[in-house]
């Protein structure tokens, strides 16, 4: 899996980037950084829970920490070195102040959601349930409040400040992506609900549908923007 991801990053970085290609490359680099950081945080959490830190580390533990920390840093550094957003737009085209502002707000909206996602993941993680973030289990109150605040701030930036500072082309692309995601949610939700009641599908999970709709919306946005 890791080799496939690295290979995909290398191939995409060598090709002329379009909107969807830049989005996929950014997601892959973010995934590598997240995976590396996840292992580091998991090892530290297990060590702290076992009261092994501070203290001498076994070489296996030290290797896991250093290698995955290096992977995380390398992925972040590669993002700014490869610059996946380059090539999507004409480099000779001058950027107006409003366009620069909308780009900064778009990036800021994504960054605002990262702390809440990390806190939700690591606040619910355990060796017995490593995927607890994606379950319907209870979460600590502070984790829920932090994640909700992070999410609401991200959406306020994206759906209000960014949307009304973007140009008409970006707004149309955003509307097109939102239409695809919303249509998918509207069509699949009742069908899945009825199918689960008949025993054809497992119990409906709204967050799974939401994640799929978000990805479809993002793909639609970048596709429309590149045309």
Whether residues 145 and 207 fall in one domain: no
Residue 136 sits in the same domain as residue 218: no
Q: Which of 36, 56, 88 is the last residue of a domain?
A: 88
Examine the domain organization and report whether 212 and 223 are in the same domain: yes
Do 221 and 173 lie in one domain? The reply is yes
Per-residue pLDDT of the chain (227 residues; tens, 9 = 90+): 555 555 556 655 666 555 556 666 777 777 777 777 777 777 776 766 666 655 666 767 777 778 878 877 887 777 777 666 665 554 555 556 666 777 778 778 877 887 887 788 777 766 566 566 667 778 888 888 988 999 899 888 888 888 888 888 888 988 999 999 999 999 999 999 999 999 888 887 888 888 888 888 888 888 887 77
pLDDT given for residue 7 in this prediction: 59
What's the pLDDT score for residue 131? 61
Q: Are residues 1 and 83 in the same domain?
A: yes
Is residue 150 located within the same domain as residue 207? no
Q: Which of 132, 147, 166 is the last residue of a domain?
A: 166
Residue 214 and residue 136 share a domain: no
* Structural domains counted in the chain: 3
**4 and 71 share one domain:** yes
Do residues 12 and 79 both lie within one domain? yes
Q: Write the DSSP assignment of the chain as a string of letters.
A: -HHHHHHHHHHHHHSPP-HHHHHHHHHHHHHHHHHHHHHHHHHHHHHHHTT--SSPPPHHHHHHHHHHHHHHHHHHHHHHHH-TTTTSS-TTSPPPHHHHHHHHHHHHHHHHHHHHHHHHHHHH--SS-TTGGGS-----HHHHHHHHHHHHHHHHIIIIIIHHHS-HHHHHHHHHHHHHHHHHHHHHHHHHHHHHHTTSSPPP-HHHHHHHHHHHHHHHHHHHHT-
Q: Residue 160's pLDDT is what?
A: 84
The predicted structure's pLDDT at residue 42: 72
pLDDT, residue 84, reads 66
Task: Give the domain extent around 177.
Answer: 168-227
* pLDDT number for residue 152: 92
Looking at the structure, tell me whether residues 5 and 68 fall in a common domain.
yes
- Does one domain contain both 162 and 174? no
Put simply, whether the predicted model's pTM sits higher than 0.75 gets the answer: no
């Amino acid at each position: 899996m890791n080799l496939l991801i690295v290979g995909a990053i290398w191939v995409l970085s060598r090709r002329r980037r379009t909107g969807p290609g830049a989005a996929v490359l950014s997601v892959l680099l973010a995934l590598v950084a997240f995976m590396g950081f996840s292992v580091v945080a998991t090892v530290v959490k297990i060590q702290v829970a076992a009261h092994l830190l501070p203290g001498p580390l076994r070489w296996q533990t030290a290797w896991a920490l250093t290698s995955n920390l290096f992977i995380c840093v390398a992925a972040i550094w590669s993002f700014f070195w490869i610059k996946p957003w380059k090539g999507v737009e004409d480099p000779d085209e001058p950027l107006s102040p409003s366009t620069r502002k909308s780009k900064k707000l778009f990036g800021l909206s994504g960054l605002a959601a990262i702390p809440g996602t990390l806190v939700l993941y690591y606040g619910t993680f355990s060796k017995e349930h490593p995927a607890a973030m994606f379950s319907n289990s209870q979460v600590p109150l502070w984790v829920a409040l932090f994640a909700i605040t992070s999410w609401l701030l991200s959406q306020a930036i994206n759906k209000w400040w960014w949307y009304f500072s973007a140009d008409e082309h970006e707004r149309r692309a955003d509307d097109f992506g939102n239409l695809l995601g919303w249509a998918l949610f509207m069509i699949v939700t009742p069908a899945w609900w009825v199918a689960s009641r008949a025993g054809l599908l497992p119990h409906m999970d709204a967050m799974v549908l939401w994640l799929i709709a978000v990805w479809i919306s993002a793909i639609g946005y970048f596709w429309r923007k590149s045309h």
